[in-house]
Amino acid sequence: MTDPKDRHPLYRGPGQNRDDARAPRPPRRDGPHNPREPQRAERSGPRPPRRDDAVVHDEARPAKPKEFRIYGLNACLAAFKARPDDLRKLWLLSSRIPKLQELLAFCVKNRIGYNVVENEDLEKLTGSAHHEGICMAMLPQPELNLSQWLMTAPDGRCLLLWLDGVGNPHNLGAIMRSAAHFGVRAILLPKASSLSHSGAAARVAEGAAEHVPLIRLGRTDNAIAQLASAGFSLVSTVVRGGSDVFKADLPPRCVLVMGAEQTGVDSELLAASPLRVEVPGTGQVESLNVSAAAAVLLAEWCRQNAS
């Protein structure tokens, strides 16, 4: 199945044969049935208004959502199961055809272009050797804002993750996987964070990216105030000087703040956190990777707040 509108060099469809040379247009000839167009200077009367001279802001078309590519077998199958209408294109290795019969049948039925390609092609499409034989072009999941999410926030025990300064998409994917496993309701991202939904994060998340929404925050002080009004308490993680997380009382409505490994949690967030915790260890290494630390902390919160 092919799509003639796709311009990707690894994607071919009807009307995209580059060997077919277009015949040159015959020269225009002036005559009684084809009079010569008068030169601009010969035209009389006022110039008709151009479309862009008028106010057309109300007629402007909304921007087309930008597609992005996800890859990895579990990530792609989870996205297809959760959001089949967002699928736009599919590339796969021939060895994956038996595993992807349902997906291919959906593409045929809905006239969605797909191509069976070579391994080198998938590496170029995904920018990774870890594509697992499949790549899909999807519409991105929308990011919510905090006000929207709080309107439908559940009552009672609830756990959120605030990633402050974390910038590696692979860490985001690993954190998403743990977050989905332990029932985190959402991941909060600062306004300036470079993290977002991406192919790399989705692959590492192994399908969890479809189950843990991302919330893009505004001003830090406003976000802290909104969360406090909804009954949430901030718990910041620190490398040293914090309470032993296995002995501390973690609140049932908790925002667990994880900082970057080099810089830690921002001072404004530390000041707003009634509780600071650390994961005790041997001291032979300074700290855990942020995704590993997140898994430990999430597990402990679930142990303490099990229903």
Domain termination residue (choose one: 138, 169, 185): 138
Same domain, 285 and 150: yes
110 and 95 share one domain: yes
What is the per-residue pLDDT for 106? 97
The helix (run of H) or strand (run of E) holding residue 270 is helix 267-271
Q: Give the Cα-Cα-Cα angle 234, 143, 195 (nearest 5 degrees).
A: 70
Examine the pLDDT at 50 and tell me if it is beyond 90. no
CATH number of the domain within which 245 lies: 3.40.1280.10
Write down the pLDDT at residue 237.
95
Distances (CA, A) of 189 to 172, 214, 224, 229, 267: 11, 7, 13, 19, 16
Does any domain span residue 31?
no
- CATH of residue 75's domain is 3.30.1330.30
* pLDDT at residue number 4: 47
Least confident of 105-114, 120-129, 271-280, 282-291: 282-291
CB 292 within 8 A of CB 177: no
Average pLDDT over residues 273-299: 94
Q: What is the pLDDT of residue 48?
A: 55
In a domain, 93, yes or no: yes
> What confidence score (pLDDT) does residue 306 get?
84
Q: Name the residue type at position 89.
A: K
Asked if 89 and 194 sit in the same domain, the reply is no
Is 21 a member of any domain? Answer: no
- Shared domain for 76 and 130, answered yes or no, is yes
The pTM score is 0.77
Residue 39: pLDDT above 60? no
Q: Torsions phi, psi of 58, nearest 5?
A: -70, -20
Q: What is the pLDDT of residue 65?
A: 63
Do 173 and 287 lie in a common domain?
yes
**For the chain, percent of residues with pLDDT exceeding 70:** 79
Do 191 and 286 belong together in one domain? yes
Q: How confident is the model at residue 142 (pLDDT cuts 50, 70, 90)?
A: confident
Do 150 and 259 reside in the same domain of the chain? yes
Q: What span, in angstroms and rounded, lies between the C-alpha atoms of 258 and 189? A: 11
The mean pLDDT value of the chain amounts to: 85
Q: What is the pLDDT of residues 147-175, one digit of tens each?
A: 999 999 999 999 999 999 898 999 999 99
Q: Are residues 272 and 207 in the same domain?
A: yes
On whether residue 240 sits in a domain, the answer given is yes
Domain boundary among 138, 159, 185: 138
Q: Give the structural domain span for 197.
A: 144-304
> In total, how many domains does the chain have?
2
